[in-house]
Amino acid sequence: MKLKILSKSIYIFLCSLMLYLCMSRSLAMPIQGDEAGTYLRHVTQGWNGYLNLSTANNHLLNTSLVWISTLFAPFSETAIRLPSLLISAWFFLWYIPKRFTPSSWILRLMFVSIAFIPYYFNEYLSMARGYGMASIFALCSLNELAAFQQAESRHIKLYLTSLFISLSCLSSLTIFPLFIVVNIGILNYLLNDSKWVFGWTDLKRWERVKIIYLIPMVFTLLISTYTFIRIKLSGVATIAGGSESFFGWLIEIPNGIITPLQGAMLGGDFPRLAPSPYLEHIISILILALISYQLVRFFKTSNRKNPWLFGFFLVLISITLIYFLSLIGSYPHGRAWIPYWLPLVYIALTPIFSLNQLAINSEQFAGLEKNLLAISIILSLITIASTLAQFETRFTYELRPFYYQYKSLMHHSRAGTIHCLAYKDINDEVLKFYFLNKEGPIKPLIQCPKGIDSPTGFMQFSHKNKEPFFKQ
């Protein structure tokens, strides 16, 4: 009981701290380029913008929720980011404490302490992007699938599996391969259940209504397939090119094993402070080691009654499928892998979940719990120390210094100290975001005069004498 209270208290503290930091950043950080693009192109343009599926910025679920959250607070950074923050709070403060499988608070703590280690994943939880919520809903789907494996008679868990993976796919199309394999597994079960296929007349009325839960599967399949094709044809940045030859693709297989982990943590070539680079390598090795151990254990043991194994293989199959897609030049790049972060952590902990389940009724259980709690506390301390060492209200990956200059200029324009403003890149969406909000006397933007080449330079005209001066 003491171990449960201790692990639960640390869990609540860790999640509350991380969510507080996410909220602080979302309140203080200027709008980012992709956020502004989503809002201006897809939220404010009515149905034409919402149905514009030619850009990767239109994460359909995120776009829908942002439209709702900004109905009464247009052009508000906080309102735009509110859906991501609320879903993150719901997941860490309600879903995991109430529905996480296994039910051990120690294992819940271990999961979130690893999940929060990558600094960039935490930052995406505070942004109006679909990646964070896609990762959350994908994990929920795998968790419901594991719960269903433990109690097959409860079909509601099977439907929640389909519903959550549909929400994840609508949040980010990177999850599309996982959406396909998860629903193939669900359909395979239903087709093999003669009661559902051939015994329709024998079902009670309320049991027939349950089949409605499969509607998200069909709806998401249709819209995701169409969207996936549109994005691929548009050649956007989140779709990387495949290898030029089969031999080159074959050589890249080892790199293909590391790529999902690097992308999911946004490690590699992106600027980040210590200790992130070192922790990324350690966590990568740990996750790969646990996955390898589970594979070896699966093929060596005859006892395969593990409720997490099905989801374990579905994630691996979907990532393998994504890598095979690189043969035709269509697979994720960089941050597009973020939706797979929580599922990767979850399946990596499969052998630990299984070990804990087998030891519950044994004499060694108390000793195992103490060891797992000690490991979880160490991981939590590392997570907190690493996050606080790097934390700043600015978004370090996509930070552009002139985003802050834009926001400052907006306040000056409202105060009447700026008559008009010229900028080199007239199509910059962050600039448009701040100056389309016409609360000040700012006049229409004009093109910068010739001779000004700085991409971060802008021309201000004072409100009084209208004499131009250049400011970097």
pLDDT tens series, the chain, 472 aa: 688 889 999 999 999 999 998 888 888 787 887 888 888 888 888 888 887 776 777 888 899 999 999 998 888 888 999 999 999 999 999 999 999 988 889 999 999 999 998 877 888 888 888 899 999 999 999 999 999 888 755 677 888 888 899 899 888 888 888 988 998 888 777 766 645 444 445 555 555 555 666 677 777 778 777 776 766 666 554 555 555 565 665 666 666 667 777 777 765 556 666 677 778 788 888 888 998 888 888 887 766 678 899 899 999 999 888 877 766 656 666 777 889 999 999 999 999 988 887 777 666 666 778 888 899 999 999 988 888 887 776 555 444 455 555 565 555 555 545 545 555 444 467 777 776 664 443 444 444 444 444 334 444 433 334 343 334 3
> Given this model, what pLDDT does residue 66 score?
93
DSSP, collapsed to helix, strand or coil, labels residue 72 as coil
CB 89 within 8 A of CB 97: no
Nearest CA-CA partner of 35 in 109, 103, 131 = 131
For the beta carbon of residue 294, count every other beta carbon within 10 angstroms.
22
Rounded Cα distance, 171 and 178, in Å: 13
> Given this model, what pLDDT does residue 397 score?
47
> Given this model, what pLDDT does residue 186 score?
83
Reported as type and span, the H/E element at residue 229 is helix 215-234
> Given this model, what pLDDT does residue 250 score?
60
> Given this model, what pLDDT does residue 28 score?
79
CB 114 within 8 A of CB 14: no
> Given this model, what pLDDT does residue 285 score?
86
Write the CB contacts of 72 (distance below 8 Å, at least 6 apart in sequence). 79
> Given this model, what pLDDT does residue 332 score?
67
Rounded Cα distance, 167 and 141, in Å: 9
Can you list the positions of beta strands (E) in 315-378?
331-332
> Given this model, what pLDDT does residue 335 score?
76
> Given this model, what pLDDT does residue 126 score?
85
> Given this model, what pLDDT does residue 65 score?
94
Query: How does strand 458-462 pair with strand 446-447?
Result: unpaired
> Given this model, what pLDDT does residue 74 score?
85
Tokens 């209504």, residue located: 209
CB 337 within 8 A of CB 180: no
Rounded Cα distance, 367 and 14, in Å: 24
Q: Tokens at residue 453, please?
A: 């080449």
